[in-house]
Amino acid sequence: MKTIIIDDEVKAAKMLQIELERLFPEIEIIGNFQQPELGIQAINEQQPDLVFLDIEMPKKSGFDVLKSCTFQKMQVIFATAYSEYALKQSKPMH
C-alpha cells in the first residue's frame, strides 16, 4: 500500500513512519514531507493509496492540501495534536 506522510513536525512524521513500518509491513512509505507544497506534488505524481496528513501546518492546513490535489482517489487519515479536531464519541446505544 503506497503511503505518503505530510506533517510539518519532523519528529512526529519520523515517529509515525517508524511505527507504520514496524506494525504494518504491507505499507510502503513513498514520501515523508514537512512542506505541504511538496506533499501535494508527490500525491499528484505518485498517486498513493493512503495519506497521513497533519491538519495544522504553518503555510497550508491539511484541508487546503486536499483541495489542492488533482489526484483524489486516496484514503486519508488526519494526524493532529489538536483535540478540537478529534472525533467526539456519542453515548453508546443499547
Domain extent listing, the chain: 2-81
Please identify, in words, the CATH class of the domain defined by 2-81. alpha beta
Cell of 68: 489542492
Cell of 10: 519532523
User: In the predicted model, what is the mean pLDDT of the chain?
Assistant: 89
Q: Please say whether the beta carbons of 91 and 44 come within 8 A.
A: no
Long-range contacts of 37-41 (CB under 8 A, 24+ apart): 39/4, 39/6, 39/65, 40/65, 40/68, 40/69
Q: What is the pTM of this model?
A: 0.86
Instruction: Note the pLDDT tens digit of each residue in 64-88.
Output: 999 999 999 999 999 876 566 555 5
- What pLDDT, on the 0 to 100 scale, is given for residue 81? 67
